[in-house]
Structure 1
Amino acid sequence: MDDYSLVAALRTDSYLYLFAFTFLYYDHLLTLDEEIKFIWSRPYHSSSWLFFLNRYFSFVGNIVIFLSMFFAPSGPSSCHPWEQFQQFFHASVQIIVAILLTMRVYALYGCNRHVAVVLSGIIIFGVCATAVSLTFSKSSIATSPFPIGCHDTLNLKNAALVSVGWELVLFYDTLLFSMTLLKAYQARFQPQIKEFNKLSLFRIIVQDGSIYFGIMVLTNFTNVLTFYISGSTLLRGTLSPFASCTSVTLMSHLMLHLHKIANKGLYYESGMK
């Protein structure tokens, strides 16, 4: 790669990271008043702490990644720990989001134990497969003309290993999306949820969940493609921060919406609370 192509790829990588970070923190500021009003100004429940975990684990972790991208000294010895942290951080974020989404689908299916066992088994398998793939993958640090900033490069073999976790996320999102649509279809024939002009928590979970899954399936699919078809080794997986920040942001919106509805005194019409 010549110097011009290298600089262009480094700038593209940095801009995409910066866009993802800006998206996450700007949305945080926009919704901070609602967070305080509907979550922290009310009695705390388990959902409050789950919201905190989803929102602030990513909030703090992305600050660390931002520092490594734009302020850490460039070089293999100083950048390898940052790159390893970044990979396992994104994996941890997706695990948290997956657990929260699983809880929503579990509630949607009337707290069916079989659903919980199957989905939990898939998550455990995904965690193990992702850990193994990240352990065996090896990234190289880009030889940068700039003295600061850590950027890694992935050949096709290692890109395929790193992409395993994102492919599993894509599969799991697609599965939960399908289950949500199936439940919405089945609900059409249930008398207690047939009245569509009356808002219910059931409908909110279905509608919000469908929007979330639709956006994330598209985002994760695009991210997975970058691991295989990117013309630059620097840009393989470059959409991972955006996919991670998007999933956290949308998950926060889903939880905030449910808290807002709960505070307005709306109930799940099928009797589940």
Structure 2
Amino acid sequence: MTPADASQDASGLLLLDYLHLLGITILFWDHIITLDNEIKSLWTRRGKHSLSGYWFFVNRTFAFTTGVAVAGFPFFGFGYETCRNYSLFREFALVVSQAITGVIMIVRVYALYGRDKRILWFLLGVGGCVVGVSVWSATAGQTGSRAELEGGCHFDLNTAAAHRLAGSWESLFAFDLLVFGMTLRIARKQSLAGMNLHRLIVRDGALYFGIIALANLVNIMTYYVDSQSIRPASLTTFANCMSATMTSRLLLNLHEEADTGVLTLPPDQTDTSIAFATVEQGAEEEV
């Protein structure tokens, strides 16, 4: 390796570390600046016992704890086996984190469509396919596909492994696109005049899709770029942290508008029905 190649390789690793830190910093900083709103909107209200409240805490807690676990690990040099185990844990945490986000999106759309079981089973089927692709891309054919890099606990990916891992993010992007399209469809079918909470759902859904889709698309591109300066999966941590952060914001905004985060009105009263509202009502009726 020439001095120029070594310098370029070091620059690529440094950029990888910086992007990793950027994602973790955004996640932790958002926890700090929204903690007061979380306490007011959830901890001191009935919202913490609602369906949306439970999923908010699951998403928030899992993202924070796994974020702490992986925050500084890449910056230290460990043995091959230790770094390999860290890499596997990180990929497992990514799959679980995206699965949590997917469940929240599924229940949200299911509620918007008036507890239509066909919508629920359709989305669960699509979500199951996304999880299957993610697990396959993270585990299939990975033996011998990684070589440890200098300058911390990093692994390089060969072309086949990089393209395979890109598949999980591509399937996730397709799922986000589907959810966004279904949200727009229900918005077009109903007049939004005077529906402040419904407008909030559509607005947050569009904002969520715009930010997350952009982060995911850029991350997907890194898996296909053949460059020493841009490593495959350079934006994986950033994209995952943005997804967890935006999902938390989506649910927090919902609870700031509604005291409990859910309304227990029948599905046909769409002028005030919001995400999780009809789901919660259905659970109460079954009880």
Task: Tell which has more relative contact order, 1 or 2 (C-alpha 8 A, sep 6+).
Answer: 2
Q: How does 1:160-199 map to 2 (within 5 A)?
A: 160-188=163-191, 193=192, 195=193, 198-199=194-195
- Cα deviation for residue 75 of structure 1 reads 3.5
Give 2:205's aligned residue.
Answer: 209
Correspondent of 1:220 among 196, 216, 219 = 216
- 2:96 aligned with 1:101: no
Q: CA RMSD in A?
A: 2.1
After TM superposition, the score normalised by the length of structure 1 is 0.89
Indicate if the aligned counterparts of 1:152 and 1:234 stay in contact, CA closer than 8 A. no
Do structure 1's residue 261 and structure 2's residue 265 form an aligned pair? no
Q: 1:47 is matched with which residue?
A: 52
Contact map agreement 1:108 1:205 (CA 8 A) in 2: no
Question: Which one of the candidate residues 56, 76, 79 is aligned to 2:80?
Answer: 76
Q: Is the 8 A contact 1:79 1:141 kept in 2?
A: no
Q: Distance in 1 between matches of 2:37 and 2:186?
A: 29
CA contact (8 A) 1:201 1:266 kept: no
**What letter corresponds to residue 156 of structure 2 in structure 1?**
T
Aligned equivalents of 2:121 and 2:164: distance in 1?
27
Aligned positions of 1:104-119 closer than 5 A: 104-119=108-123
Distance 2:262 2:108 in 1: 17
The aligned counterpart of 2:62 is 57
Shift of 1:77: 2.2
Note if 1:250 corresponds to 2:217: no
Matched-pair contact (CA < 8 Å) for 1:177–1:214: no
Distance 1:252 1:266, change over 3 A: closer
Q: Tell me: CA distance 1:141–1:76, structure 2 relative to 1, closer, same or farther (3 Å).
A: farther
In structure 1, what is the equivalent of residue 21 of structure 2?
Answer: 18
- In the superposition, relative to structure 1, how do residues 3 and 74 fare at CA in structure 2: closer, same or farther (>3 Å)? farther
Gaps of 5+ in 2: 278-287
Deviation at 1:216, TM superposition (A): 1.4
Query: Alpha carbons of 1:24 and 1:96: their partners in 2 closer, same or farther (altered >3 Å)?
Result: same
- Equivalent pairs: percent with the same residue? 34
In structure 2, what is the Cα distance between the partners aligned to 1:97 and 1:129? 16
Aligned to 1:263, the other structure's residue is in SS state: coil
The residue type equivalent to 2:162 in the other structure is: A
Deviation, 1:206, is 1.4
User: How far does residue 65 in structure 1 lie from its aligned partner after superposition?
Assistant: 1.1
Q: Does 1:87 align with 2:94?
A: no
Alpha-carbon distance in 2 for matches of 1:265, 1:39: 9
Gaps of 5+ in 1: none
Q: 1:266 to 1:62 in 2, by over 3 A?
A: closer
Contact 2:173 2:216 in 1 (8 A): yes
Kindly state the Cα deviation for residue 115 of structure 1 after the two structures are TM-superposed. 0.5
2:280 match: none
Question: Quick one: structure 1 residues 230 and 177, their matched pair in 2 at CA, closer, same or farther if it must change by over 3 Å?
Answer: farther
> What TM-score do the two structures reach when normalised by structure 2?
0.85
Q: Which moved more, 1:130-139 or 1:202-211?
A: 130-139
